[in-house]
Structure 1
Amino acid sequence: MKTRRIPFVPPRLPAVLPLLALAVCLVLKLAGTVQAAPLQLQVAFDNEYVSTSHPGARYLEVLVTAPESVSQRPRVPLNLALVLDTSGSMGEQGKLEYVKQAAIAMLDRLRPEDRFALISYSNKARVLYPSQPVEEGQHMQGLINSLEAFGGTNLGDGLQEGWRQVQRHASPSVISRVLLLSDGLANIGITSNQELAQLTLAQSELGISLSSFGVGLEFNEDLLAALAETGRGMYYFIDHPESMNTILGKEFKSVEQLAAADIKVNISLGSDLVVDQVFANSYEVNGNNITVRFGDLAAGERRRMQIRVLPKQRSLGRFDNAAQVSVSYLEPGSKAALSLLDKLGMTYTDDEKIAASRQNKEVLERAAVFEANQAKKEAALAVDKGDQHRATVILNEAKKKIEAVAPPASAKVKDELAAMDSYAEKVSKPMEAKTKSLEQKQVKHRVQAVEGC
């Protein structure tokens, strides 16, 4: 804490003392209530000018950015549950040993005011360490080191026990999160992706977030990605078990430096625009109203999404209600609900040269990235169903669309097009099961990560 030197006041200035004392009190009071900067909202069209004769598609971009640091406010206590898969397959490739090392490293970062629970699951869930402050570090390490790999994968049972442990101490004054790790398919108990996602959403609404970690090549990436989306957390793909410690450490740092929770973006478009495609991980569309769930944001993180809209033909002139964007979120460690608001207009012109010259090339460049990854996501789903031909068609059609609208000299766009070509070439040929699993997981994980670009 910084101190402020107060100069000596000579006896001949007694009248100044009360004012000086008041000023000092005010400074000290402000120093004790300094808060990190709020979230930043940026909204832009790739081009706010539209030709009356050839309207063409437009991209609306929304970017929410967290402050670079939350160090100016007291650290919010953590309420965590680590839910570990200890099914038989975790004994392969040393996966469980790497998990043990990462879990012990996490314990070393916890503070006395934090609460922690440890749950393992195979055929059923086991509570190894009920939610409580971590006081006996050596005892906890012993519990972690005693874990053995055996049995099936009752992911739902493990997840529900993790929630129960965190629920006992959940409140607005702490950060509550479940960390779920799996290397396989849920094959015992609740196995429905939709049912597990719905249960996760219900916990999210109660203030308990969830991050998921997929290890190896056999886990269900669609399930773990869906759980992270509805759980307001992050989805991690760990193809190399030796990187477990680094990735789990990254997640812990994100939770520890949480800047905003339960971020929701509401977009209301004017009647002259039609929603064509939403590029976001989790969203709902109701006519011209779009709601996007951005989840939680740690210091220095950001979330970005875009909407491809189709302007209707109309007369010349500007209309100011093209898009209204509002953001609501919660301040971690308190009940404070905060919000942001921005609006955009759009101008119709009969001068096509003016319309063409007003492009925001950066937004358009990122639109190409979103288009490419959306195409790869749809192609990957087609490959999952065994329809490689359909996947190739999706990728080729998307490539033509991107080439027609994206800045041709952009290195980023060229990289995305090259990645699409590479994926198209791979899916057009028979792939070994291991190669296919790796390719599918990498593509789907990239799609999830684009929102944070």
Structure 2
Amino acid sequence: MNTRRILFFRRRLNSVLPLLALAMLFVLAAACTGSADRLQLNASFDSDHIYAARPGAHYLEVLVTAPEALGQRRRVPLNLALVLDTSGSMAEQNKLNYVKQAAIAMLNRLRPEDRFALIAYSNRARVLYPSQPVEDGQRMEGLINSLEATGGTNLGEGLIEGFQQVRRHATPSAISRVLLLSDGLANIGITSNGELAQLVQAQAAEGISLSSFGVGLEFNEDLLAAIAETGRGTYYFIDHPESMNSILAKEFKSVEQLAAADIRVTITLGSDLAVDQVFANTYAVDGNTVTVRFGDLAAGERRRMQIRVLPKQRGAGRLDNAARVSVSYLEPGSAAPLSLSDSLGVIYTDDEKSVASRQNKEVLERAAVFEANQAKKEAALAVDKGDQSRAAAILGAARNKIEAVAPAAASPKVQNELTQMDSYAQSVNKPMDSKERSLEQKKVKHRAQAVEGC
């Protein structure tokens, strides 16, 4: 090849290389954007080694994380209904006035493309502002400020009206959610927890989610927690009414920055592993398959669950597909489902020491937290039934189980959980007035409900 031809090829190469480099940068940028603004799945065992001769309990953890930012995705229009309790008890502690201030503040965050409905309920439910864009803010503020506290609590009728308003304009291109606030017990109309939960579940299946806000000490925390979980939303316990504004603002921000909706996780264990206990709020077990509903996640939020599994005894060797994990979800503004999946293997070994050497201490630490909160949840339900001795027995047995997980039990976080559990165990038989007992029960149950996001 002569010198002229070599120089020609060099010039061509020098002109092409920058273009190739630029193309590679675009490819890498696209790849990074594609992974950064989508849901992430992480699954792991507390140890990928199992002692073949005497297998003990192990923990499988699944973590789903929403992206920190929504990238280039445009903000999806909101289709909201605020359903407010205006029963007589809302006059106490200035609760209704705090709610009014929070509702007006939320109103000011809406955009022209958003829709809003306002429903008040006491003996009956009233649609004060049918679902529509908020074009006359002063009129809306006047309606909110005119609310008065009187009558009973027809929570069911309030829910029905709220869902009807949102359903009229529910489309895949909008985020549809009902925000329900209550400070009391459902004592008029539908009063069954089961019927109310079924009502919410049916709407969630149609794409309308629900978040609940319990104010004060007299509301039914079991009901509000259950319908928020069934409704793919969040349950908030507001023991100080003056914090209503910041909490409603937090909920509005999470709806506005919704990253993934209707998240469902399915875990299928291999035949050599058995499900012993599931640590999640809403789940179903069918043999070796566990289905968990994580609901909706805003940008930067995460949900975590664990399964305590019991390995069967078998010979040493690798076990592929010990667990298969799949996640399905929707992106706001789209009706096309997306999915993630992962598969985990374990190794049965004759070397008992290798099991400990391969331990994931963070998974074990969180397992201890899950165990503690599960125990407190069960103990709280026993206290509700007046069975303090059973509550104390549940907490004592859980403490022994947690202490047996040596690496986790040594951590400050787990020690703090044990201290809280001991404190609750001591208070179970302690004489308290009704308000003290109600506050403690609500705090314990709310913590157990929220631990999924630990």
Report the Cα distance in structure 2 between the residues aligned to 1:52 and 1:304, rounded to whole angstroms.
28
CA distance in 2, matches of 1:315, 1:52: 6
Identity %: 78
Match of 1:410 in 2: 411
1:136 corresponding residue in structure 2 = 136
1:89-118 CA distance string (max 9 Å, x none): 000000000000000000000000000000
Q: Write out aligned runs for 1:31-430 (5 A).
A: 37-407=37-407, 408-430=409-431
Question: Does structure 2 conserve the Cα–Cα contact (< 8 Å) formed by 1:365 and 1:406?
Answer: no
Q: Which amino acid aligns with 1:102?
A: A
Contact 1:40 1:65 in 2 (8 A): yes
User: Could you tell me how far 1:37 is from its partner in structure 2?
Assistant: 1.4
Alpha-carbon distance in structure 1 between the residues aligned to 2:405 and 2:143: 57
Q: Secondary structure at the match of 1:451?
A: helix
SS at structure 1 position matched to 2:264 = strand
2:91, 2:149 within 8 Å by CA — same for their partners in 1? Answer: yes
More deviation, 35-44/305-314? 35-44
| Preserved CA contact (<8 Å) 2:53 2:314 | no
The answer to whether the 8 Å contact 1:278/1:308 transfers is yes
Give SS of 2:38's match.
coil
AA aligned to 1:263 is I
Offset, 1:72: 2.2
SS at the partner of 1:109?
coil
Q: Amino acid of the residue matched to residue 61 of structure 2?
A: E
- SS of the aligned residue for 1:170 comes to coil
Structure 2, unmatched stretches of 5+, are: 1-14
Write out per-residue CA displacement over residues 121-169 of structure 1, whole angstroms, 9 at most, x where no aligned residue: 0001000000000000000000000000000000000000000000000
CA RMSD of aligned residues (A): 1.8
Q: Deviations over 1:239-280 (max 9, x none)?
A: 000000000000000000000000000000000011000000
Partner Cα distance (1:406, 1:69) in 2: 38
Distance across 2 between alignment mates of 1:356 and 1:295: 35
What displacement does 1:73 show? Answer: 1.2
> Would the alpha carbon gap of residues 430 and 265 (structure 1) be closer, same or farther in structure 2, given more than 3 Å must change?
same
Distance 1:68 1:384 in 2: 39
1:69/1:300 contact within 8 Å kept: yes
How far 1:406 moved relative to its partner? 4.3
Amino acid at match of 2:203: Q
Hey, what's the Cα distance between the residues in 1 that align with 2:194 and 2:346?
A: 40
Q: Deviations over 1:336-359 (max 9, x none)?
A: 210000010111111111112111
TM (normalized to structure 2)?
0.92
Equivalent residue letter for 2:177:
R
- Whether the 8 Å contact between 2:39 and 2:66 is mirrored in structure 1 is yes
2:441: which partner in 1?
A: 440
* Alignment correspondent of 1:451: 452
1:11 paired residue number: none
Instruction: Point out the more displaced range, 55-64 or 333-342.
Output: 333-342
Is the contact between residue 364 and residue 406 of structure 1 (CA under 8 Å) also seen in structure 2? no
C-alpha distance in 2, partners of 1:155/1:384?
Answer: 22
Instruction: Judge conservation of contact 1:374–1:447 (CA < 8 Å) in 2.
Output: yes
**How far apart, in 2, do the equivalents of 1:361 and 1:152 lie?**
51
How far does the alpha carbon of each residue in 1:365-395 deviate from its partner, in whole angstroms, 9 at most, with x for none? 0000000000000000000000111100100
Q: Distance in 1 between matches of 2:112 and 2:406?
A: 52
Question: Cα 1:231–1:183, aligned 2, differ >3 Å: closer, same or farther?
Answer: same
Please give the per-residue CA displacement for 1:188-224, whole angstroms capped at 9, x wherever unaligned. Answer: 0000101100110110000000000000000000000
Native 8 Å contact 1:264 1:328 kept in 2: yes
Q: CA deviation at 1:70?
A: 1.3
After superposing on structure 2, the runs of 4+ consecutive aligned residues of structure 1 that deviate more than 4 Å are: none
Rounded to whole Å, the distance in 1 between the matches of 2:442 and 2:356 is 39
Unmatched segments (≥5 aa) in structure 1: 1-15
Q: How many residues align?
A: 430
The CA distance in 2 between the partners of 1:448 and 1:191, in whole Å, is 22
* Local SS of the residue matching 1:118: strand
Deviations 1:54-93 (A, max 9, x none): 2000000000000001152111000000000000000000
Contact kept, 8 Å, 1:51 with 1:351, in 2: the verdict is yes
Instruction: Name the aligned partner's letter for residue 255 of structure 2.
Output: V
Aligned residues of 1:51 and 1:352 also touching (Cα < 8 A): yes
**Matched-pair contact (CA < 8 Å) for 2:37–2:71:** no
| TM-score, with length taken from structure 1 | 0.93
Distance across 2 between alignment mates of 1:385 and 1:430 = 16
Query: Helix, strand or coil: the match of 2:453?
Result: coil
Amino acid at match of 1:388: Q
Residue 409 of structure 1, CA deviation: 2.2
Report the counterpart of residue 6 of structure 1 in structure 2. Answer: none
Asked if the contact 2:183/2:218 (under 8 Å) is kept, the reply is yes
The alignment partner of 2:106 has SS state of helix
Residue type matched to 1:159 in 2?
L
Question: Structure 2 CA distance, aligned partners of 1:406 and 1:94?
Answer: 49
Distance 2:92 2:180 in 1: 19
Contact 1:67 1:259 in 2 (8 A): yes
